[in-house]
A and B are shown apart, each in its own frame.
Chain A
Amino acid sequence: MRFEYKVEGGDFTQAGYAASQVKKSLKQLGVDSSVIKRVVVALYEAEVNIVAHAYRGVIYADIESSGIKLKLVDEGPGIPDITRAMTKGFSTASPAVREMGFGAGMGLPNISENADSLLIETEVGKGTTLNIEIRF
């Protein structure tokens, strides 16, 4: 079963919508609450990353009986140095974004911690695609 959500860069008022919708569906399917929590935390972080850093993006959530696959495709600046981006506390977020309480440099490490697998494809100047998998 596939869900699709559009995300606009800079629109913090809508950030978290996809995560809430996916959470609602997983609850209705009776998925274990500790697994739902990991999905929501990972997806929320990834969703906020698009809002904070990219111009726009699409989130695809594929729910199967074995687990959930999340694919977040954005058009944006890309990540020049993935190793640094994966370091806790490292952030390229603008001061404006930090003022809103985002950009603490926990995004990607947090996603990685909550996911069973995380694959990042990125091209500087074009965009980033995140593939997150969490098994039920």
Chain B
Amino acid sequence: MDDDFKQIFEFKHRVLLVPSVFFAQFKDSIQRNTICQIIGELGFTEVCAVEQSVDTLLNEINDYLETAQKPVISSFCPAVIRLIQVRFPSLVDNIMKLLPPIEITAQYYKKRFEKEGIAESEYGIFYLTPCIAKIAAVKSPVGGYTSPITGVINMDFFFNKVYLAYKQRLPITKSIIINGELSSKGVLFPTTGQESAHVKGRTLAIDGMKNVIDFLEMLENEEIDNVDFLEIRACDESCAGGILSHRNRFLTAESMKNFAKTVPDTHNLIEDYKRSCSAVVHMDKIEPRSMVKYDRDIEVAIKKMESARRLKKILPGIDCGACGAPSCEALAEDIVRDQAQINSCIFLRTIFEKRGEISLEDTIKIMESIWGEERFDKNEKE
């Protein structure tokens, strides 16, 4: 995954928005201040806490809930928004039309630069992301919104840089402005249950992809009612379990909780945030994104689905994955869509070989076309 670290030196003012998950990648004994100094040494002129905007956002969420269609689904997790667009299109209208904390915080710093009369070409606002979905959210946001964020830096890549500097005791020669204002609510917001905890009414917090899908299925079937607000996060343990977070998710979440105990439940910039930025933006309707599985023509689609059902009965049904598809059902679907062949199945291939319908050379060629040449030779030598 490409990222934007190289770009930062194009700007005189280089701001890094750091999520609380990042500090929790380190042991509790490593001071936040030390980490920030290293970030300055690596090239940034300013660091800011992403979750600074959480306190004002929570007020806006509670206002929003008063008139919104229930249940309101949080707009925090971009993976969940996209999942709903593709797989649960009938729920798109329940997605909260408020910006997530990262966008509000970015707005705040953009406005501050504007107020100081600094030209747009002079400053770059970069986001250190714990998650790949957030990269897509910044680069191609939903609802016709344009993000003020200049670029995105992957957290795993940046962690290595910072930790290496820490281990090698890189001398600190540059100074950095630290905008560390953060409340305990803000620190904990990216962890499971700490968004819904501050929302009025009946709320639920759901994390982990399988749980999310199961729950959204039920919601779509109208099996769940009288819920006001849903905090839904794709990753187990929410952002502490983000894909670019390298540390064990439970230890990461624990570090965030430990840190939250050391900060007050409010901070100095809250009033300033209230005055200068808002989660409420004009957003276009969030559109469903349909996925065409078989064909746009339903007649053709039904025929293909029937073929896939017949094929599934022929396949062994043990979901071994040797064909490259995750399950026999998925292989059957791939075959009718001309994206795989029945010979891809190692069990059927063996039967065809026994019957003399396919040569040993060809079965090996098929295996190599799926998994790569020489891949299994190497294992033999080892």
User: In the complex, what distance in Å separates the CA atom of A47 from the CA atom of B295?
Assistant: 30
> Across the interface, do A34 and B90 meet the contact criterion of CB distance under 8 Å?
yes
A51 within 8 A of B: no
A30 within 8 A of B: yes
B296 within 8 A of A: yes
- 8 Å CB interface, A4-24 against B: 16, 19-20, 23
- 8 Å CB interface, B204-248 against A: 217, 220-223
Chain A residues with CB under 8 Å of B305's CB are 1, 25, 28-29
> Across the interface, do A40 and B302 meet the contact criterion of CB distance under 8 Å?
no
Q: Per a CB cutoff under 8 Å, which of B221, B293, B296 touches A19?
A: B221
Write the A29-72 contact mask toward B (1 if CB under 8 angstroms, else 0): 11101101100110010000000000000000001110000000
> Across the interface, do B90 and A33 meet the contact criterion of CB distance under 8 Å?
yes
> Across the interface, do A16 and B296 meet the contact criterion of CB distance under 8 Å?
no
CB distance from A72 to the nearest CB of B (A): 17
CB distance from B48 to the nearest CB of A (A): 40
Instruction: Tally the A-B contacts, defined by beta carbons under 8 Å.
Output: 56
User: In the complex, what distance in Å separates the CA atom of A79 from the CA atom of B305?
Assistant: 37
> Across the interface, do B298 and A30 meet the contact criterion of CB distance under 8 Å?
yes
> What bracket does the count of chain B residues touching chain A fall in?
20 to 34
> Across the interface, do A28 and B221 meet the contact criterion of CB distance under 8 Å?
no
Number of A residues with CB within 8 Å of any CB on chain B = 22
Chain B residues with CB under 8 Å of A19's CB are 221
Q: Per a CB cutoff under 8 Å, which of B90, B223, B299, B301 touches A16?
A: B223
Chain B residues with CB under 8 Å of A64's CB are 302
CB distance from A66 to the nearest CB of B (A): 9
B148 within 8 A of A: no
- B contact residues vs A (CB 8 Å cutoff): 87, 89-90, 217, 220-223, 288, 290, 292-296, 298-299, 301-302, 305-306, 309
